[in-house]
Amino acid sequence: MKFRDGMWLAAEGKRLEYAEEVYSTTRLEESRGLRLLCPTKKIMQRADTLNLSTLTIDIETPFDGVLSIETTHWLGALNPGPHFDLFPAGKPSTRHTSITKSPKSMTISSGSISATVKTVDHDFDIRFHATDGSKELTSLLNRSIGLAYGPAPSNPMQTADMRNLHHYIFTQTTLSVGESVHGLGERFGAFNKVGQAITLWNADGGTSSDQAYKNVPLWISSRGYGIFIDTPDKVELEIGSERCCRVQTSVEGQRLKWYIIHGPTPKEILYKYSILTGKPGKVPSWSFGLWLSTSFTTNYDEKTVNSFLEGMKARDIPVEVFHFDCFWLKAFHWCDFVFDSEMFPDPKAQITRLKESGLVKKVCVWINPYLGQVSPVFEIAASKGYLLKRKNGDVFQWDLWQTGMGIVDFTNPEAVEWYVGCLKELFDKGVDCIKTDFGERIPSEDVQWHDSSLDPRKMHNYYAFLYNKIVYEALQERFGENEAVLFARTATAGTQRFPLQWGGDCESTPEAMAESVRGGISLGLCGFSYWSVDIGGFEGYPPPWIYKRWVAFGLLCSHSRLHGSNSFRVPWTVDEDDTSDQGCSKILSTWTLLKARLMPYIFAQAQESANLGIPLSLRAMCFEFPEDSTSWFLDRQFMFGSNLLVAPVFEESGNVEFYLPAGKWTNFFTNETKSGPGWFKETHEFDTLPLYVRENSILVLGKEGETRTVYDYARDVEVRLYCVRKGAKATVVGSEGKEIGVLEVGEDGEVGKQEFLGGEWSVTCLPARDHLSDYVLGAWKNFSLTSPKSDELKLCHLLGAFDRVVQRCYSTGNQVNCNPMAYHIPLRMSSKRRNSPYFIT
């Protein structure tokens, strides 16, 4: 919301009052904080203290590296819930706090971050900076904190009746030259939010609008700090869009609280944010496999489902989870949890047959938190008070989405118990996971929640948290703490605790695929580890080329699901069953099997991501390379974990341009290397894309031809070394998520402590061709040696005007041919221990 008409005038119908100076300061001993009394005019004499507003600003130290700032006009105003569930794992102790005073200022410090408040000269000036003085982060300066009325009262007597007045609190933090702003939930517009006006209000707007399903009041700055706005209420932000040099945050009410979180890196910011709002839950290994959906409005029954899965198996496309979308329920009955008896006369038996066939391991069904009045269940739920009501006592209903639809009131404990009971009946039928759709269009006017103490406007966004929490915890109760999986569309702060989320309704276009990338990386910067997308696009009929490009992108998201609206997403329906190597079926098989092979890497990275509260995929480039200013503007590529760079292809031709940060990068498919920083152009068929491995990486991969998602991630694996140096590490975890061991490169360039690897494991060293000068190639060409050693022969450390080269040759049988010119041929050390001589040419 804009409160000004340019720099000089108030907006029409608005009255503004600003904190003009810090009149007095008081220490808050219990919270180790500081309270500032800030009048809305400069106090030059005693008479100036009369007939004016004051703003109270509390700066507190919740834990090291974080400060909270709460601005209040009238302290006596109620602060009704709901409130975000902060510190769910407990509040950490605050060890490094202090308040110091100088003749002109006071400084409050919380670990690595401090705020310095000017206390002289009738100025309003608060600077947030690194405690060590190395960097100023942002500041609150003249006309940066205030209150506003709308419509503008002509005298203070009118504020005696506030029923027809809107009252706002706003703050404006400064934007430095070149500073960029990111996050604020799953947003599909420009990745850098500077210049945008954003309203944090959950809405079902698709992926091609400024609305968002997942509004999260957290943004991260390229200057090394983040700001979390501590309210589920509607928040409006003007990010360099009212004043070009400031981020304005406003909320209707008497108070506004936010936390400033010092990094300096995005990884450190999100870790501290996860202490505030909770860490992402861990998901089971099977959830990373391919999910196949019936699609939305398509007709299907048991025969249809089986035909899909049999067709996928025949085409070497393993499916881990089959999803029954809306029409497992009877039309007009959504969502009463009752299978449509005409289409599914015995759902439990059907699901049992489906799993026993071996075509799929898990089953998911679609639900929402609404109830259509046509269902007989509606009358029961309404009579028992399970549905949201209007202020006059009527059940709140509208005909949006479902005829006479009511909304489950999750503030009523009995409604929650009933809803969980319905979920348990699904689990009894063999359902393993739940797609929690909707939860965005929650009314905020003329409604009365069962818990009447709650603010209906705050409940609009917070409903997403309650809805997903209830379903997730029901899954945990049935299947185990780390075995619960949602497929959720709506979210707010804290909902990362209930994974996973998907991007909502996108069109079947390359533009929508790019929108989805932006949405995924933005949500990741708000602490969500897992994210998925409707492969092929939800709306419309994807042409084969878009489907195949989307398959490549979708299988490199943390989770991968084929889903559409009014058309199926099995590949043979997209391209008339093209059986060629570049047909949809073969391409889907290729990428599904690649993800299966990557599972030892993916699942280990998933554990780390959840522990740190950071994204697995899609991970914004700036997350891994915050010192590279270009990385803060990259919105068409991302990192999958810390070691893999992914650049989706958006052109039918296969042309793609992408950026590599500083260092050596190895093409996963060809083993060619490129050196960054720099922009590169490539052309790809449908079975590859720019997938680059970061230097100093150890990748643990499943064996060639691996088709399973869940297997022993320490057995029969290939350990790939990419331009490694001493200290390079890779953690190996089991399919249950427990650490098995750590591979680490030692002083000699070798991987030590391999005893926990089993079966026919191997180590592959991938030398980089651009490290080798003609001199080195010549030396290798003329070198030959035969040795009886049985384990390893370390050849040559050649030094010159070129990079140091270390080439290792390992025995996998009776002989090894080592030729650095054939750099793309893997050279391996096998777990086989044979007393066979090396023959090296």
Q: Report the CATH number at residue 463.
A: 3.20.20.80
Q: Which of 617, 650, 677 is the last residue of a domain?
A: 617
Report yes or no on 423 lying in a domain: yes
Q: Are residues 515 and 664 in the same domain?
A: no
Distance CA 173, CA 571 (A): 50
What single letter denotes the amino acid at residue 121? Answer: D
C-alpha 119, offset from chain centre: 41
pLDDT of amino acid 703 = 96
Is residue 230 annotated as part of the catalytic site, yes or no? no
Backbone angles phi, psi at 324, to 5 degrees: -95, 110
Q: What is the largest CA-CA distance in the chain?
A: 99
- Angle subtended by helix axes 456-479 and 413-428, to nearest 10: 40
Q: Are residues 706 and 794 in the same domain?
A: no
Q: Which has the closest alpha carbon to 439: 399, 410, 477?
A: 410
Query: Do residues 562 and 292 lie in contact, with contact meaning Cβ atoms separated by under 8 Å?
Result: yes
Cα 148 to Cα 15, 71, 170, 458, distances in angstroms? 5, 13, 8, 20
CB atoms within 10 A of CB 42: 13
Q: Are residues 540 and 625 in the same domain?
A: no
**Secondary structure of 496-564 in the HEC alphabet?**
HHCCCEECCCCECCHHHHHHHHHHHHHHHCCCCCEEECEECCCECCCCHHHHHHHHHHHCCCCCEEECC
Distance CA 275, CA 261 (A): 11
CATH number at residue 648: 2.60.40.1180
Query: Do residues 86 and 277 lie in contact, with contact meaning Cβ atoms separated by under 8 Å?
Result: yes
Is residue 440 annotated as part of the catalytic site, yes or no? yes
pLDDT of amino acid 833 = 31
- In the three-class reduction of DSSP (H, G, I as helix; E, B as strand; rest coil), residue 113 is classed as strand
Query: Do residues 217 and 525 lie in contact, with contact meaning Cβ atoms separated by under 8 Å?
Result: no
Q: Are residues 599 and 664 in the same domain?
A: no
The secondary structure of residue 461, as a DSSP letter, is H
Report yes or no on 686 lying in a domain: yes
**Dihedral sign from CA coordinates of 115, 116, 119, 124:** negative
Please name the residues in contact with 587: beta carbons below 8 A apart, sequence gap of 6 or more: 548, 551, 552, 571, 686, 687
Q: Are residues 347 and 458 in the same domain?
A: yes
Tokens 């490539």 locate to 682
Is residue 505 annotated as part of the catalytic site, yes or no? yes
**Dihedral sign from CA coordinates of 390, 392, 398, 402:** positive
Report yes or no on 339 lying in a domain: yes
Catalytic choice (505, 539, 624, 695): 505
Report yes or no on 749 lying in a domain: yes
Report yes or no on 394 lying in a domain: yes
Number of domains in the chain: 5
Q: Are residues 46 and 179 in the same domain?
A: yes
Q: Are residues 718 and 685 in the same domain?
A: no
The secondary structure of residue 481, as a DSSP letter, is T
Q: Which has the closest alpha carbon to 53: 80, 27, 71?
A: 71
Catalytic choice (21, 440, 483, 706): 440
Q: Are residues 520 and 598 in the same domain?
A: yes
Low-confidence ranges of the chain (pLDDT < 70): 767-841
What single letter denotes the amino acid at residue 403? Answer: T
Distance CA 534, CA 182 (A): 24
Query: Do residues 209 and 201 lie in contact, with contact meaning Cβ atoms separated by under 8 Å?
Result: no
Backbone angles phi, psi at 103, to 5 degrees: -60, -25
Q: Are residues 567 and 468 in the same domain?
A: yes
Please give the radius of gyration of the chain, using alpha carbons only, rounded to the nearest integer: 29
Q: Are residues 652 and 531 in the same domain?
A: no
Catalytic choice (268, 432, 437, 695): 437
Tokens of 512: 């929508």
pTM of the model: 0.92
Q: Are residues 436 and 500 in the same domain?
A: yes
pLDDT of amino acid 438 = 97
Query: Do residues 834 and 816 lie in contact, with contact meaning Cβ atoms separated by under 8 Å?
Result: no
pLDDT of amino acid 718 = 96
Query: Do residues 293 and 563 lie in contact, with contact meaning Cβ atoms separated by under 8 Å?
Result: yes
Query: Do residues 575 and 544 lie in contact, with contact meaning Cβ atoms separated by under 8 Å?
Result: yes
Torsion of CA 586, 592, 596, 599, to 10 degrees: 140
Backbone angles phi, psi at 563, to 5 degrees: -155, 140
Q: Which of 692, 709, 727 is the last residue of a domain?
A: 692
- In the three-class reduction of DSSP (H, G, I as helix; E, B as strand; rest coil), residue 720 is classed as strand
pLDDT of amino acid 750 = 87
| Cis status of the peptide bond prior to 767, with omega within 30 of 0 | no
What single letter denotes the amino acid at residue 532? Answer: S
Tokens of 483: 């075995």
Long-range pairs for 824-829: beta carbons < 8 A, 24 or more residues apart = 824/670, 824/671, 824/672, 826/718, 826/720, 826/764, 826/765, 826/766, 827/764, 827/765, 828/718, 828/762, 828/763, 828/764, 829/762, 829/763, 829/791, 829/792
Domain hosting 446: range is 285-617
- Is residue 374 packed enough to be buried (19+ CB in 10 Å), middle (13-18) or exposed (0-12)? middle
Cα 13 to Cα 10, 55, 198, 251, distances in angstroms? 8, 22, 21, 17
CB atoms within 10 A of CB 581: 11
Categorise residue 142: left if φ over 0, alpha if ψ from -120 to 50, beta otherwise: beta
Query: Do residues 584 and 571 lie in contact, with contact meaning Cβ atoms separated by under 8 Å?
Result: yes
Tokens of 286: 């099977």
- In the three-class reduction of DSSP (H, G, I as helix; E, B as strand; rest coil), residue 243 is classed as coil
Q: Which has the closest alpha carbon to 563: 592, 531, 538?
A: 538
Report yes or no on 93 lying in a domain: no
Distance CA 260, CA 795 (A): 54
Q: Are residues 600 and 665 in the same domain?
A: no
Distance CA 767, CA 807 (A): 7
pLDDT of amino acid 94 = 80
CATH number at residue 173: 2.60.40.1760
Distance CA 137, CA 362 (A): 48
Q: Which of 676, 692, 708 is the last residue of a domain?
A: 692
Distance CA 28, CA 34 (A): 5
DSSP output for 431-442: --EEEE------
Q: Which has the closest alpha carbon to 81: 466, 433, 417, 372?
A: 466
**Per this entry, what is the length of the chain?**
841
Tokens of 811: 């025995």
Distance CA 192, CA 201 (A): 19
